[in-house]
Each structure stands twice: as C-alpha cells, then as structure tokens.
Amino acid sequence: MEKHTVLHFKKNCISCGACAAISPNYFEMDPEGLAELKGSATVDDHQELEIDTEDAKAQCQEAADVCPVNIIQVKKK
C-alpha cells in the first residue's frame, strides 16, 4: 500500500472521545482530556503519523469519520 500520513490537529480537540473509542490502537485520551495520536510526531501545529497498511488506514479513517470537528485527516503521501 502507498504510504499515508495521519494528521491530528490536537489543539482543536473538543474532548468527545469518539476517536479513541472507535480506533483505540491509534487514539487515546491524554490526562488533559484531549485526544492523542499514538506514536505521532508533532509537526508545526499538529501531530503526524506515517502508516503503511490497509488496516491502519481503515482504523484511522474511521476515527476521522467520527470526529465531529473534522480535525483528523488521512492523506496519501
């Protein structure tokens, strides 16, 4: 599979918990109640994680789809 990048604009998280509930392998709630993209690096104003499997892409896309403020994106590299 082509590499994809998951982007998460954590500063805009409204702490609903939906991403962590549907995609716990990739998202968890931090002690402040904001979603954290597991294993990600902070790049500029957001978090990024490279993924390269269909399974990872599907799980991260599910999180993106349930986020009510659309701050999770899955993009082709």
Is 19 near ligand SF4 (CB under 6 A)? Answer: yes
CA 55 to chain centre: 14
Out of 6, 7, 35, 56, point to the residue binding ligand SF4 (CB under 6 A): 35
Please state the closest distance from residue 29 (CB atom) to ligand SF4, in A: 7
Residue 6 is a binding residue for ligand SF4 (CB under 6 A):
no
The residue whose two tokens read 């990872």 is 56
Distance CA 26, CA 6 (A): 10
The residue type of 71 is I
The residues of the shown chain that bind ligand SF4, judged by CB under 6 A, are: 13-19, 35, 66-69, 71-72
